[in-house]
Amino acid sequence: MFYKNINLKKRGEMIAFLTKHYRYHTLNSWNRSTSYANNIKLYNIEKPADIDNDTWWQLLELTEWQEELSDLLADFGRSYNWQWQAGINGRSGGYVVLYKGGIQTSGYKSYCTHCGQLNYQAVPDNQTGICGRCDARARVNFQKTHMQIFTWPGKDIDMDEDFRDWSTDDIRDRVKLIQKFDRLCDSIVREYISTCRSYRITEEEILVPKTIKVLEPVGR
């Protein structure tokens, strides 16, 4: 659906593919930065006849789908060591957009095994630190340098680029990246359809959670 076969030996064909590719805002419309994108709004996608309307429109908001979607996006980012990332933008989340990003050391040295709070201070050797948030004596050092992924959400990608100045190899690499991005968008649509087929949306009554106080042993 989104993926297009491009002759990677033809400069003109590759440049035309890049310059004519669908684009969307990286942040919002007044920021004016755009990047390669695809519109995955449901009304643009043909609903297979065997999927009922309710499932088709409601699955979008369910956690099961949101998690599958984040997995697909994360796989794409990881395959580029986060230098390129795919994200969702638009008021109703209807666009997949290509972003630039990376991975860097976070500076966090320890974390709480009880509540997950991160801490910039290292715990001295053979000791367990106290968590600044939940007070549990459960703060331990990271075994490896803790890294964090960052994204440049406002950065445009190839917005005013003149590809005639680029070497053919560089153009080809960019085309391959965008093709892989288009393939990702295809697999998002495929995955949505298959998830629709594997779930039936039912309503469940849930108990309203109530906060109670409990005593918890302190680890020493």
* Residues binding Zn ion (CB under 5 A): 112, 114-115, 117, 131, 133-134, 136
Tokens of 201: 């949306």
| Nearer Cβ to Zn ion (32/133) | 133
Calpha distance 125→59 (Å, rounded): 49
Q: How far is the CB of 217 from Zn ion (least distance, A)?
A: 15
Q: How far is the CB of 129 from Zn ion (least distance, A)?
A: 10
Q: How far is the CB of 136 from Zn ion (least distance, A)?
A: 5
Tokens of 204: 């469940």
Calpha distance 33→153 (Å, rounded): 9
Stretch (H or E) spanning 102: strand 95-105
| Nearer Cβ to Zn ion (134/140) | 134
Q: How far is the CB of 95 from Zn ion (least distance, A)?
A: 37
| Nearer Cβ to Zn ion (114/155) | 114
Calpha distance 128→108 (Å, rounded): 16
| Nearer Cβ to Zn ion (8/118) | 118
Q: How far is the CB of 132 from Zn ion (least distance, A)?
A: 8
Give one word for 167, left, alpha or beta, with left for phi > 0 and alpha for psi -120 to 50: beta
Calpha distance 184→99 (Å, rounded): 14
Calpha distance 94→44 (Å, rounded): 10
Calpha distance 176→187 (Å, rounded): 16
Using alpha carbons, select from 92, 78, 101, 89 the residue that is nearest to residue 31.
89
Q: How far is the CB of 140 from Zn ion (least distance, A)?
A: 11
